[in-house]
Chains A and B, each alone.
Chain A
């Protein structure tokens, strides 16, 4: 066993892990943050996407020990402490961008990084391309794309405040 110290959603944790423990396993099994999902075994579905130091990453394709010292944001850390949803979550609700919800945590985390890294704006094509690492079996993607387009001005207005 080895120790890893990392910050998750603003809170520091020191956890005992094996060499083979994946970051997603640390989040779900050691910290009880089960919002981050595991949808495949092949690094393809994106249900497990979290932010590591601000960048979207597949937490199933990263060892927990590689995240030593890192700052992690999961879906649980997006809303405000009083429960106010993040604009991306709000727009997913508004635009009915989820059905079963399995892909949603990864979709939202990918979408937040995509919008943050494109302050200049995003075309529909860019949004669709930005989602190529996230698979959804329910929605047909259309409403997810609409939700992200709607969240873009809200997030950048908030950032400008």
Chain B
């Protein structure tokens, strides 16, 4: 690992000013992605800015929205009573991320900022139609993800919290890589009075995406059978040693049906 300076600011303004003043400075949340990246010398920051002193963790419910602080850990999302009751798909999703030690450190903000094409939370944010709040603005889920490992965040912009509308029903199903535990295909489905949203992670070269054909069918009839005939083309899907693009295309159908069966 290359060496770097370490800072732990006590205020959001200080953190933003360090990160914005230096193009080579990088934020550190739970470190469960960033530290392995540093070990592989894939990144050479001048300064690592630890966000742990900014008071950005916590879960609150107001009306039909749950707000999750960016530094809230996976383990706390998995075990939170409000999330379990109101967005069970999200609690279940968090409980499937990595392993318990990873869940004790990794954060929702870190996962969303990183936008790994195989990460779990991007599918929840997109399917729930959530909103990202940063130190300077709010960004809708549909505008946030911009291809694998790419988001709408500017250099030095810090996610502070995530707003998630509470759906009538939700579920997450993941076909996981047994070694890394990341999603080979992960499907988050959310049913609202206004319709159904369904997002797929792990499968596409472009990162997380909404399956609009399935959404339409499920909005008319929220049952696994409603999407049984939908064929997803393999074009643009990931193919690697774990699964070919054709296999992922097939899995999208299977895992989506399981997610709907679970939510319904």
Mask: chain B, 12-40; 1 = CB below 8 Å from A; 0 = not: 00000000000000001001100110111
How many chain B residues touch A (CB < 8 A): the figure is 29
A19 CB, min distance to chain B CBs, angstroms = 4
Of the listed stretches A29-37, A50-58, A84-92, A96-104, name the one at the interface; the rest are far from the partner chain.
A50-58
State whether the Cβ of B105 lies closer than 8 Å to any Cβ in chain A: yes
Of the listed stretches B64-72, B96-104, B126-134, name the one at the interface; the rest are far from the partner chain.
B96-104
Residues of B within 8 A of A18 (CB): 3
B35 CB, min distance to chain A CBs, angstroms = 5
Residues of B within 8 A of A19 (CB): 3-6, 48
State whether the Cβ of B50 lies closer than 8 Å to any Cβ in chain A: yes
Select A66's contact among B3, B50, B98, beta carbons within 8 Å: B50
B212 CB, min distance to chain A CBs, angstroms = 34
Do residues B6 and A2 form an inter-chain contact, with CB atoms below 8 A?
yes
Do residues A61 and B105 form an inter-chain contact, with CB atoms below 8 A?
yes
- Given A43-B32, A132-B181, the answer on whether A65 and B100 have CB atoms closer than 8 Å is no
State whether the Cβ of B2 lies closer than 8 Å to any Cβ in chain A: yes
Mask: chain B, 91-122; 1 = CB below 8 Å from A; 0 = not: 00000001111101100000000000000000
Do residues A61 and B32 form an inter-chain contact, with CB atoms below 8 A?
yes
Mask: chain A, 5-25; 1 = CB below 8 Å from B; 0 = not: 000000000000011101000
State whether the Cβ of B180 lies closer than 8 Å to any Cβ in chain A: yes
Residues of B within 8 A of A44 (CB): 179-180
B211 CB, min distance to chain A CBs, angstroms = 29
State whether the Cβ of A39 lies closer than 8 Å to any Cβ in chain B: no
A134 CA to B28 CA, complexed, in Å: 24
Do residues B52 and A57 form an inter-chain contact, with CB atoms below 8 A?
no
- Given A20-B1, A43-B36, A57-B105, the answer on whether A63 and B31 have CB atoms closer than 8 Å is yes
A132 CA to B39 CA, complexed, in Å: 22
Do residues B102 and A43 form an inter-chain contact, with CB atoms below 8 A?
yes
- Given A43-B36, A55-B104, A63-B31, the answer on whether A20 and B3 have CB atoms closer than 8 Å is yes
Residues of A within 8 A of B4 (CB): 19-20
A114 CA to B99 CA, complexed, in Å: 12
State whether the Cβ of A105 lies closer than 8 Å to any Cβ in chain B: no
A16 CB, min distance to chain B CBs, angstroms = 13
B160 CB, min distance to chain A CBs, angstroms = 20
B155 CB, min distance to chain A CBs, angstroms = 20
Select A56's contact among B3, B39, B100, beta carbons within 8 Å: B100
B179 CB, min distance to chain A CBs, angstroms = 7
A57 CA to B1 CA, complexed, in Å: 20
A18 CA to B6 CA, complexed, in Å: 9
Residues of B within 8 A of A113 (CB): 100
Do residues B35 and A61 form an inter-chain contact, with CB atoms below 8 A?
yes
Which residues in A have some Cβ–Cβ distance to B below 8 Å?
2, 18-20, 22, 41-44, 46, 49, 55-58, 61-63, 65-66, 68, 110, 113-114, 130, 132-134
A-B complex: 6 closest residue pairs judged by Cβ atoms: A133-B99, A19-B6, A20-B1, A55-B104, A132-B99, A19-B4
